[in-house]
Structure 1
Amino acid sequence: MNGKRAALALLLLLLAAPMMAQYNIKKLMDEGRRSLDQGYYVVALQIFQRVVGLRPDKNEAWYLSALSKYHLEDYKGAENDCSRAISIDPFIIDYVELRAMSRLREEKYDSAIVDFTHALEMNPDNCDYWFNRAYCYSQEHAFAIALQQLDYIEKRWPSFTAAKDLRQTILATQRLRGSH
């Protein structure tokens, strides 16, 4: 009888283990989100790295790890973690936006343009994506394209002053280049 009880107990433990593991992952994710919300980025990063160690297929953990790294100004690490999240689910705009911003901070403007373009395909009504892409074009010295982007922004969002400021910067840069 003891052998049957032991076998039954082992079977129940094996059946419950995935639920306990899932519960622990959920608990870790919740704890990581709280740490992130409170600005404890190092703690949050450690938690999310633990989660991706246990569940490398958990795209949200990769994204939240990237967000922690971004706040810690580890833009290369944030880009890499976002790329992992995007490889798991390429249709979540937050992942694409964070990778674009990380690439912008790394001055990888050509790659950021690709990401902002992808983000605009998913949400063409986001003024910030349009502006950031125009900024990246300006940093790549593609001034004509940047100015076209700014024309669109200024027509669609006339009160967006950053677009006007960037236009002035581009025009001043072009004047300086033309005078040399």
Structure 2
Amino acid sequence: TSFSFTLYPLKPNTTYYFRAVATNDLGTGYGAQRSFTTLQVPYYESLISPQVQTNPATDITEHTARLNGVVVEDGGVMGAARFQWGLTTEYGNDTPWQQGYGKGDEFFVDLNNLAEGQGFHFRAQFRVAGKLVSGSDMVFNTLFPLGPVTLVTDEIIQLLEAV
């Protein structure tokens, strides 16, 4: 039976050694040691630069919002995504990095405990093999709280007019 395993991230111009190991009820067997050397310049640097896109926030309430982004180009290597957010374009808040994103992958983060009726700036970021790219700045506004709801009927209007 054949098998494979993908390794990432790997350092450029580095030799890696490996061998297969199989275990069953009769014991353990070891394959021959093999090696490979990664390229001097990673192909993702020589061909395509990574790119991330900030998408509009969704599911906005008085105190919550969902930030959305998509990896437009990964440069051929899986990477990590996150968001920066805050009251200004200085942001001041970073969400945790989410690993394992590649070209075309959408990602999101739900923010909670936000101030009501407030505007927030945010942008998506993507990090791959030492490169960090940012999407464009976007803004969302949390909702203002709704006051008490008053039901007005024709009967109430007639009573008020009679006064």
For the superposition of Structure 1 and Structure 2, which TM-score range results when normalised by the shorter chain?
under 0.3
Answer 1 or 2: which has greater strand percent. 2
TM-score (norm 1): 0.19
TM-score (norm 2): 0.20
Larger radius of gyration: 2
Higher relative contact order (CA 8 A, sep 6+): 2
